[in-house]
């Protein structure tokens, strides 16, 4: 038993006798340039949008289809609509908001569009404009505002605004 105890304690005593050489560490002052290293660019490539080329995919046993975007998916204002403006929309501005509801676009603030546009948007909606379509969304919007206005589109923020044609200012 005594030999087992000595055999177990022998490694403990051996490691206590070993001294490790001390290493003198050099301290280095951190420079401001080292602290503010530029962030690495995580983007590898830049892709500009190009319409896809026609690719045939199989959609049935004997049927193939082109796997490309439709014109309406490319330009959201060219979607064909066929709708009726609800009776709760009483003004031209409310009718425009209704048409833009599912388009991905919204109306720019009337305060930045000018006084003529602000008064147009508050006009009552004519009964003839309650049933719209089938027509492209951009044409429906232009029909609601009339020939005295032209439409401005901000594709980055997806905003629609109107401006008075110069002849009518």
Among 1-10, 93-102, 118-127, 130-139, the minimum mean pLDDT is found in 1-10
pLDDT value, residue 167: 87
Single pTM value for the model: 0.64
Scan for tokens 């232009």, then name that residue: 142
What is the distance between the alpha carbons of residues 2 and 165, in angstroms, rounded to a whole number? 109
Residue ranges per structural domain of the chain: 76-168
Among 3-7, 39-43, 136-140, the minimum mean pLDDT is found in 39-43
Q: Which residues pair with 56 in a beta bridge?
A: 66
Instruction: List CB contacts of 45: < 8 A, sequence separation 6 or more.
Output: none
Residue 154: is its pLDDT beyond 80?
A: yes
- Give the pLDDT confidence of 76-116 residue by residue, as tens digits: 999 999 999 999 999 999 999 999 999 999 999 877 787 78
- Give the pLDDT confidence of 18-61 residue by residue, as tens digits: 555 565 656 555 555 555 666 555 555 555 556 666 678 888 89
Scan for tokens 């009518």, then name that residue: 168
What is the distance between the alpha carbons of residues 57 and 65, in angstroms, rounded to a whole number? 5
Mean pLDDT (whole number) for 136-146: 95
pLDDT value, residue 59: 85
């Amino acid at each position: 038993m005594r030999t087992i105890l000595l055999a177990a304690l022998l490694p403990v005593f051996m490691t206590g006798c070993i001294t490790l050489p001390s290493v003198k560490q050099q301290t280095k002052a951190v420079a401001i340039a080292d602290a503010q290293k530029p962030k690495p660019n995580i983007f590898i490539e830049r892709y500009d949008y190009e319409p896809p080329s026609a690719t045939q995919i199989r959609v049935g046993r004997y049927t193939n289809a082109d796997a490309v975007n439709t014109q309406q998916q490319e330009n959201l204002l060219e979607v064909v609509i066929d709708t009726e403006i609800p009776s709760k929309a009483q003004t031209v501005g409310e009718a425009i908001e209704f048409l833009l509801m599912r388009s991905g676009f919204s109306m720019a603030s009337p305060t930045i569009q000018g006084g003529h546009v602000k008064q147009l948007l508050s006009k009552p909606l004519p009964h003839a404009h309650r049933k719209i379509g089938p027509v492209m969304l951009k044409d429906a919007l232009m029909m609601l505002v009339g020939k005295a206005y032209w439409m401005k589109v901000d594709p980055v923020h997806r905003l629609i605004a109107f401006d008075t044609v110069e002849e009518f200012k």
